[in-house]
Structure 1
């Protein structure tokens, strides 16, 4: 059955899986393969029943079955293919509730979704579930991925706008507490707050800069550099971000790139005293010693 399925000979694959199940009805892998083959043939009702039997077989013979979240994903995709989006959402909601650590891998385990439209529907449904459970940043990401595969879904555009707005509101609520924690020298707590804000809104340059600053104060130079780079990427004409990234590279011995960043900052603000001071220090450090 596996071999025939791999060769896209789905009708023959179904017969082989059914023959296997006739002698070993508890064989979980055969139920899974049968569900996959039936779905490829458009026989979604039968595929859903096979997936349900697979779930029961896996529960009774756990060592022989696939993980439950994989089986539930299979069932959700059979519902999607049948146009039963509410049922698909109900199954994915169960996965989210019972196996939250596996949700990012749902589509990686998928054996059934192949066309862009079907993939987009699954991603859009996943976005709705994330949104309903308060995970707005994850919802925004799922909606964006859905629209990459099918850009004409009006409902998903609307949902994306709503999720993005919610993320901005949450980030705006978090930002003052991060600033206050830094002012109180509670650096570790400030790092946690700014990292959360940066995760919620990875496109905000100010949040990236503040996260980098908190990480630098905490002594985490590698991650501070990464967030300063993000800040520069998001706002390449911000003198403060350019200067601070240059200073971080200066500190860690990446002197040639540090000089380039200082020079970029000076091209935007030629009289900035902080940049001039940093560049002078760098020049002194790299100047060859005088001859004896």
Structure 2
């Protein structure tokens, strides 16, 4: 859930909305300063609304350390606001107190989330890094930092952050999964397998088995990959990804059998129909191939490749008019591809030649 959605004014069930209602309905009953401190921490997830909130609130509660912290945190990563250096110095000075360090770390984390949602990745990274100076063992912040670094294109730093999170939270399956993915992306597949197996020891999960299969396949350990994909399917019989990976491992007859099993399991996915149709076509069963491609088109009518494949299949079957229509549809979806026009021109020529005897026969019978 994005910060903007969480703080949406129309959602009266979120924490900040409930606090706003409490302030409005019972200002003489509740602790107003405490309520505003809590709101301030939440508002950091939406920097635009935080700016409108913080100045009058600090004026209303000038003795509040948390509110001062939130204001300084925002200033310290905002290049358009004067006093960045002074804000950081003040935070470093008061951050020696454990309770204040907690406020600072959480505030930077929330601001990082808000900046990331706004597309301000560089500032979000800075906020997460500041947060970790005060709360160095916060796995969730490390995971968010890893996500932002990956978006920025810094995969080595992203992987390092993810591995540190996994070391801090070795019993958190999602953290181990993300560490596995990060290592796999970096090409450190053997280590990725270690983290994936550690995650599976906590609890079997189809997504983890699929990932494990992909790692084994990358390492050239095909039998172990097949076993992992089958374990994924055993836990989730409609796991399209596992079936697709299995089919890629096998030779054509076994690949066809695997994808037919996927259909029998009730999987309705255009890619399954398209892949299976292509395999049947390669095997010389063009009629079955055409049928499967038509079913794929019924699910995903805007897939250009499926229309192109169907045109090729129908052309092989000698169904010139239908083949022309298939290429015509492909050309409508992808008008700048000359290959479609060439196929259509060839089919138009064939259809034109076929029509001559038909016209001659028609004349002779009259």
| TM-score bracket relative to the smaller structure | 0.3 to 0.5
TM-score (norm 2): 0.35
Structure whose alpha-carbon radius of gyration is higher: 2
Q: Could you say which structure has the greater relative contact order, defined with CA pairs below 8 angstroms and 6 or more residues apart?
A: 1
